[in-house]
């Protein structure tokens, strides 16, 4: 069987505007399983190549696959359906397959909305992909494919899943399918980048988060397998910037220490690693943090989310703001850059936004990153948030940059954010510390991020300046704002799936 994996084209700024095109590794993991089963696979990243729908169809026509598999995160849902519908119209004999977190939880809505969808793989796709292609090639019953949602005439069949994938060592991404690594050049340092994954899952169960529900349990591959993979990307493909896709990679202290030792042994001198981290794990590893830096970790992103401890407790976030502040100082003392994520709009009140910004005034993080509360239908907080917010825009806007609630004027709030950024990041003490404090690798990266952040932020907030302040490479879009006239594709199934 010939399988073509497709990532739909989507740009909204945010992290992409700062870091550059980010690789979607989900299809590459599934592709690896298909290759091991003896099938032919190709990979098309329409986002990285910025391809139109017609361009995408032309590539499908050139490849002539038997089955087209489309990756679906929520913000990609509408574009994924456009690809599926157009594929069926132009290539009626090609089967269509969806996978990813949105398809996992919202398969019924999507398949009811779009009869052109033939198949959906719910959950982790490695086991199912190989079985599915084998069954299709041999004409075997689809009921044997774990986690498959399929059409049996007019009836929708949902096969039991295989459970969390245990063999992460034997199921690694098919990086060899990437046709052009220059598509993934990082905007910060201009080097080739890769998204890598050491572990899956999160040991926390935050009410607003969807990742722990998708991955179910926390697992990791062996440190040596991960280090070998990174070394291969470094030496074979010239990758120098590695962004870890893990939610909580340091959850197992022994496994994480083994990973640091394995990376240090590879001696990848100019490699830069960025990763998320829990304040709890950073504080546990305070004596170990110099080893982080020695292994190449330069960017540490802490998910602080909220500045009010009462809210942190309400959402099951196992930390206090004081923990984040101490973790930030510990990261900086070890010669790394400390970034902090903050969620806005949880209580749908403008005074909450102002209070959050005021509470951040004493934080010593190198960078503060903001995102808007986005209530995914399968999270524990969905019904509560939507009861307050009222309406939601089309799925294209479920991107953490669009606010759904009516209690906050997003444009007004973002003007306050601009004032905060200026006063925070240009304060003499932070500016001097960032540009001149710490070891050379930290100073160099900080300066690159500072210059890029200023240019990109200006281009995104003031699109007319884009040609003057933003580099020609990379797409920078205007800010996204909620249009209450637009709804999701079909809201009738949302309550059933939540």
In 3D space, the residue among 184, 213, 215, 156 whose CA is nearest the CA of residue 7 turns out to be 184
**pLDDT tens-digit series, residues 70-100:** 999 999 999 999 999 999 999 999 999 999 9
**pLDDT tens-digit series, residues 96-139:** 999 999 999 999 999 999 999 999 999 999 999 999 999 999 99
Least confident range from 1-15, 151-165, 464-478: namely 464-478
> From CA 172, how far away is CA 197, in angstroms rounded?
9
In 3D space, the residue among 215, 189, 192, 190 whose CA is nearest the CA of residue 202 turns out to be 215
CB 156 within 8 Å of CB 113: no
Our measurement of the distance from residue 114's CA atom to the centroid of its chain's CA atoms, rounded to an integer in Å, reads 25
Q: Give the pLDDT of residue 487.
A: 42
Q: How confident is the model at residue 16 (pLDDT cuts 50, 70, 90)?
A: confident
Q: Give the pLDDT of residue 496.
A: 36
Q: Is residue 414 scored above 90 in pLDDT? A: no
Q: Is 354 helix (H, G, I), strand (E, B) or coil?
A: helix
In 3D space, the residue among 169, 67, 173, 76 whose CA is nearest the CA of residue 120 turns out to be 67
Q: Give the pLDDT of residue 15.
A: 74
Least confident range from 36-50, 260-274, 410-424: namely 410-424
**pLDDT tens-digit series, residues 159-193:** 999 899 999 999 999 999 999 999 999 988 889 99
> From CA 490, how far away is CA 107, in angstroms rounded?
12
Q: Is 168 helix (H, G, I), strand (E, B) or coil?
A: coil
CB 201 within 8 Å of CB 221: no
> From CA 345, how far away is CA 1, in angstroms rounded?
47
Q: Give the pLDDT of residue 467.
A: 58
Query: Sign of dihedral through CA atoms 2, 179, 301, 367?
Result: negative
The mean pLDDT of 254-283, rounded to a whole number, is: 96
> From CA 413, how far away is CA 411, in angstroms rounded?
5
What is the model's pTM?
0.91
Q: How confident is the model at residue 390 (pLDDT cuts 50, 70, 90)?
A: confident
Q: Give the pLDDT of residue 462.
A: 67
**Continuous segment of H or E residues that includes residue 121:** strand 119-121
The contacts of residue 431 (CB under 8 Å, 6+ apart) are: 425
Which residues share a beta bridge with 297? Answer: 273
CB 111 within 8 Å of CB 117: yes
In 3D space, the residue among 398, 466, 348 whose CA is nearest the CA of residue 76 turns out to be 398
pLDDT averaged over every residue in the chain: 90
Q: Give the pLDDT of residue 461.
A: 62
The mean pLDDT of 14-26, rounded to a whole number, is: 83
CB 147 within 8 Å of CB 123: yes
Buried b (16+ CB within 10 A) or exposed e, 152-162: eeeeeeebebb
Domains and CATH numbers, the chain: 2-158 (3.40.50.280), 185-469 (3.20.20.70)
The contacts of residue 464 (CB under 8 Å, 6+ apart) are: none
> How many Cβ atoms sit within 10 Å of the Cβ of residue 106?
27
> From CA 174, how far away is CA 166, in angstroms rounded?
18
The DSSP 8-state label assigned to residue 114 in this structure reads -
Q: Is 320 helix (H, G, I), strand (E, B) or coil?
A: coil
**pLDDT tens-digit series, residues 392-409:** 778 988 989 889 888 999
Q: Give the pLDDT of residue 404.
A: 86
């Amino acid at each position: 069987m010939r399988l073509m994996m497709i990532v739909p084209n989507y740009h909204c700024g945010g992290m992409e505007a700062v870091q550059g095109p980010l690789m979607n590794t989900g299809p590459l993991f599934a592709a690896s399983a298909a290759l091991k089963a003896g099938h032919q696979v190709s990979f098309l990243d329409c986002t990285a190549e910025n391809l139109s729908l017609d361009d995408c169809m032309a590539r499908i026509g050139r490849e002539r696959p038997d089955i087209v598999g489309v990756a679906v995160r929520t913000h990609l849902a509408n574009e994924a359906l456009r690809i599926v519908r157009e594929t069926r119209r132009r290539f009626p004999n090609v089967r269509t397959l969806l996978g990813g977190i949105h398809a996992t939880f919202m398969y019924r809505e999507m398949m009811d909305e779009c009869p052109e969808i033939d198949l959906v793989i719910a959950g982790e796709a490695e086991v199912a992909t190989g079985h599915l292609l084998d069954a299709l090639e041999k004409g075997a019953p689809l009921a044997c494919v774990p986690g498959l949602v399929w059409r049996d005439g007019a009836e929708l069949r949902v096969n039991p899943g295989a459970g969390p994938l245990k063999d992460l060592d034997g199921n690694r991404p098919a990086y060899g399918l990437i046709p052009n690594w220059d598509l993934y050049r990082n905007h910060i340092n201009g080097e080739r980048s890769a998204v890598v994954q050491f572990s899956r899952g999160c040991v926390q169960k935050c009410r607003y988060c969807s990742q722990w529900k998708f991955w179910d349990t926390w697992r990791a591959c062996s440190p040596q397998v991960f280090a070998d993979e990174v070394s291969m990307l470094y030496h074979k493909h010239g990758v120098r910037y590695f962004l870890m896709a893990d939610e909580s990679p340091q959850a197992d202290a022994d496994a994480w220490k083994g990973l640091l030792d394995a990376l240090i042994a590879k001696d990848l001198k100019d490699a830069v690693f960025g990763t998320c981290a829990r304040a709890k794990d950073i504080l546990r590893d305070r004596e170990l943090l110099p080893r982080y830096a020695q292994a190449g970790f330069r960017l540490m992103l802490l998910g602080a989310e909220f500045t009010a401890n009462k809210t942190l407790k309400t959402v099951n976030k196992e930390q206090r703001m004081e923990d984040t502040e101490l973790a930030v100082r510990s990261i900086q003392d070890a010669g790394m850059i400390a970034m902090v994520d903050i969620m806005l709009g949880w209580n749908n009140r403008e005074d909450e936004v102002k209070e959050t910004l005021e509470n951040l005034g004493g934080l010593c993080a190198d960078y503060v990153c903001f995102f808007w509360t986005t209530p995914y239908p399968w999270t524990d907080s969905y019904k509560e948030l939507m009861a307050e917010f009222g309406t939601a825009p089309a799925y294209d806007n479920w991107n953490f940059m669009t606010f759904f609630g009516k209690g906050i004027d997003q444009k007004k709030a973002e003007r306050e954010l601009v004032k905060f950024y200026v006063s925070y990041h240009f304060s003499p003490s932070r500016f001097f510390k960032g540009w001149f404090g710490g070891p050379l690798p930290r100073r160099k990266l900080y300066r690159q991020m500072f210059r890029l952040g200023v240019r990109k932020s200006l281009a995104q907030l003031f699109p007319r300046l884009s040609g003057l302040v933003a580099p020609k490479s990379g797409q920078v879009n205007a800010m996204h704002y909620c249009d209450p006239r637009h709804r999701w594709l079909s809201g009738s199934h949302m309550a059933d799936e939540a």
